[in-house]
Amino acid sequence: MLAVRNANLHYGAAQALRGISLDAEMGKITCVLGRNGVGKSSLLRAITGQHALSSGTVTFNGVALNGMAPYGRAKQGVGYVPQGREIFPLLTVKENLETGYAPLSRGERLIPEDIFNLFPILRSMLGRRGGDLSGGQQQQLAIGRAMVTRPKILVLDEPTEGIQPSIIKDIGRAIRYLRDSTGMAILLVEQYLDFCRELADHVYIMDRGEIVADGAADILDTADARRHLTV
Ligand SMILES: Nc1ncnc2c1ncn2[C@@H]1O[C@H](COP(=O)(O)OP(=O)(O)OP(=O)(O)O)[C@@H](O)[C@H]1O
């Protein structure tokens, strides 16, 4: 289980996270919902080691991640699909996938066949440059690249952002498959309520750097949740 406790994060004098505590359990999909700018990406950057917390702790299966570089966290099994996907535009699809080898030992350096079963388009585009792919294909590639690292927790930053509905369905199916087939924990942040309602085992709602509610997906239908989520 990933456990965040009393996390505070600052950008200079501005505080982006205020005393956040949350759990992402193994074999479950945990969704964090919130409007633009409430601190969702900051939370994921703190978990994956892109930005240090000012105070608070992050542990994964009992191992303290605080102070560990992103590479060390990847070795601990933290896979990250960043906002905007961050595909290398001049590398081919295959080379992009192979960048996921970095935290693996030599014997583990294989591209899992599951990636192509979930996203067949990637197999047919292995030799194409990342920059030539559509936004939805790049999102599939970013998830595939994270799968190459054999994550025990997959952390996704707004996987539906700017993506057409048919590919959103494929991504939802892939996330469910990963939960059910591997028992990994999945933590995703989103603004797209219906996507979370369909997928989430547990939901947290964030507003202005704080967790303001949490529970099963049906809390999204409460008036209190809507107040924090509508613009
Ligand atoms: N590098 C940075 N320097 C200064 N302020 C930042 C930085 N990154 C984010 N912020 C600020 O921190 C707050 C939280 O931003 P964050 O990106 O975590 O929110 P978010 O919920 O992920 O929003 P979005 O949906 O737009 O990605 C915002 O007020 C944002 O302007």
From ligand 1's centre to the CA of 128, what distance in Å?
Answer: 33
At 173, the amino acid letter reads R
Q: Would you give per-residue pLDDT tens digits along the chain (231 residues)?
A: 999 999 999 999 999 999 999 999 999 999 999 999 999 999 999 999 999 999 999 999 999 999 999 999 999 999 999 988 899 999 999 999 999 998 888 888 999 999 999 999 999 999 999 999 999 999 999 999 999 999 999 999 999 998 999 899 999 999 999 999 999 999 999 998 999 999 999 999 999 999 999 999 888 888 888 888 886
State the pTM of this model: 0.92
Give the pair of three-digit tokens for residue 66. Answer: 């605080």
Q: Is 16 in the pocket of ligand 1 (CB under 6 A)?
A: yes
Given a contact cutoff of 8 angstroms between Cβ atoms, the answer to whether 159 and 188 are in contact is yes
Distances (CA, A) of 112 to 17, 91, 97, 139: 36, 19, 10, 17
Provide ipTM, 2 decimals: 0.93
Full strand arrangement of the beta sheet holding 153-157: 78-81, 153-157, 185-190, 29-33, 202-207, 210-215
Q: Is 231 in the pocket of ligand 1 (CB under 6 A)?
A: no
From ligand 1's centre to the CA of 39, what distance in Å?
Answer: 6
Burial 163-184 (b: 16+ CB within 10 A, else e): beeebbebbbebbeebbeebeb
Q: Is 41 in the pocket of ligand 1 (CB under 6 A)?
A: yes
Q: Is 136 in the pocket of ligand 1 (CB under 6 A)?
A: no
Q: Which residue has the tokens 């917390």?
A: 53
User: What CATH class is the domain 2-85+151-229?
Assistant: alpha beta
- How is the chain split into domains, by residue range? 2-85+151-229
Nearest Cα residue to atom 23 of ligand 1:
37
Give the pair of three-digit tokens for residue 203. Answer: 């939901």
The residues facing 33 across adjacent strands are 190, 205
